[in-house]
Amino acid sequence: MSSESIVPEYLDPPDVAALVGVSAAIVREWIDTKQLRATNVSRGKQPRWRVRISDLRAFMSTRSNQATTESSRNTELTTS
């Protein structure tokens, strides 16, 4: 067995929240509003969401780009 750590392909909302630094409720809001892509693995009425690592990376990249754009706009407004 190798000494490399095993990284799961999917994360549940609490794991995503811990990585990103927000609450699980915020992650579920992102999922509900389709900002963050997730898969429902439940067979019952209560959803059980899982987020693919690649989807989380894409989401964070998009949010980072939005934050950079907003920051640039705010800087332009304050220096005008």
Q: Domains of the chain, with CATH numbers?
A: 10-79 (1.10.1660)
Q: Show the tokens assigned to 1.
A: 């067995």
E-strand ranges in 1-80 read 10-11, 39-40, 49-52
**CA torsion 32→37→38→44, rounded to 10°?**
40
Its pTM stands at 0.73
Other Cβ atoms within 10 Å of 63 Cβ, number = 14
pLDDT tens, position by position, 28-65: 999 999 999 999 999 999 999 999 999 999 999 998 87
Question: Is the confidence at residue 1, as pLDDT, over 80?
Answer: no
Quick: pLDDT tens for 6-38: 767 999 999 999 999 999 999 999 999 999 999
Lookup: tokens for 13: 């909302």
